[in-house]
Amino acid sequence: MRPLHFPWQNIAAILLCVAAGLTLPLMAAEAPAPMTSATVVLILFLLVGSAVLTLFRTPAIVNAAILFVGAHAAAWLLLAGVTGNEGTARLPFFLLIAAGWLLAWRCVTVLTHLKPRTGLANSLLRLIIPAIFGVWILIVWEAATRGAGIPFILLPPPSSIAARIAGSLPILAADVRQTIFKAVLIGYLIGCGSGFLVAILADRIAFLRRGLLPIGNLVSALPIIGVAPIMVMWFGFDWQSKAAVVVIMTFFPMLVNTVAGLAAAGQMERDLMRTYASDYWQTLLKLRLPAAAPFIFNALKINSTLALIGAIVAEFFGTPIVGMGFRISTEIGRMNVDMVWAEIAVAAVAGSVFYGVVALIERSVTFWHPSIRGG
């Protein structure tokens, strides 16, 4: 037999399962449809079995698979059992959820130590690890809200939010089209583009550089809730006013980062370009802009989230009867909390995708930079 090892997550999970087994049942006596004894035994078998099996020094990928199946199958059975029995879960239920979470933690730990041999395997691993982490945030959220009977108005469970998203796809699509594909994208392109061009001028003209950067710090400190209503008064209630807010929020981060990036090229490299008789524009295109690329993409990534926040907040102060900010402010007044969370979830996914696209473009453009080569 191969030697054993004793990860603390496995040991803690086994102890939690023992404690839960000694304090059964999982549900209070008044539960409408308590879990059967066979289901409870199966849950304990999955958790304890996967924890014990992975004590052996088997291949890491096998251990990860066992932990993954055991933790998530047990969690699915626990959540299925508490659905319809909201507010009746007892301490053993939460102990078993904690045991599954510990095994998922161990699964992620094992996966992080794998050494993929191909680029595809490495990319899949980079997706699986955060996916497991995110799924368990939702599992714990679902278990806490349903098991403890948290009022729906305070915090709806993720399953209710998912059901609301599935049932409101046309409304959510219209809101995304109004907020993201009009206000955010147009404002983002104008704000980042103009900030980049003005940074080039400021780098060329010392007067602009010394005058604009202090103003940039001032404008960056302006509260959006003060700027948004003014933009609505100037540009109307449609998406143009929200795009104007996005322009203001994205212009100066791009300006400041680009100016800093243009100064990143070393003096030795500049002297070398001068020995080649390069003029300002040749030096800018072949040396200084490539050196500034990490700064520029840093501004693009920062602005990808600022733009979405700015557009949504601006819609609180006047908009047609469509848009993510409009929907949030309207539905919270009607106490439709699940719809509010649905809009928040869609905004979070959209912002993450936007950020991810910019990051992928950055990796393809600045592949030579040490931060990219290092992974």
> What are the structure tokens assigned to 81, written together?
């059992």
Give me the DSSP letters along 264-275. Answer: -S-HHHHHHHHH
Instruction: Name beta bridge partners: 56.
Output: 4
Residue with tokens 């041999």: 117
Q: Which pLDDT belongs to residue 1?
A: 44
Q: Are 244 and 231 in contact (CB under 8 A)?
A: yes
More confident residue, 267 or 84: 84
Host H or E run for residue 101: helix 91-112
Mean pLDDT of the chain: 87
Q: Rg of the Cα trace of the chain?
A: 27
206-242, pLDDT tens digit by residue? 777 777 777 777 777 777 777 888 888 888 888 888 9
Task: Say which residue the tokens 């009022």 belong to.
Answer: 151
Q: Which residues sit opposite 89 in a β-bridge?
A: 27
Measure the CA dihedral 48/54/60/63, to 10°. Answer: -30
How many CA atoms, within 13 angstroms, populate the side-chain half-sphere of residue 307? 33
Question: Which pLDDT band, with edges at 50, 70 and 90, does 56 fall under?
Answer: confident
Q: Which two tokens stand for residue 215?
A: 């103003």
pTM beyond 0.75: the answer is yes
Q: Which of 9-13, 194-198, 284-288, 304-308 shows the lowest per-residue confidence on average (mean pLDDT)?
A: 284-288
- Other C-beta atoms closer than 10 Å to the C-beta of 229 total 15
Question: pLDDT tier at 322 (50, 70, 90 boundaries)?
Answer: confident
Residue 18 pLDDT > 60: yes
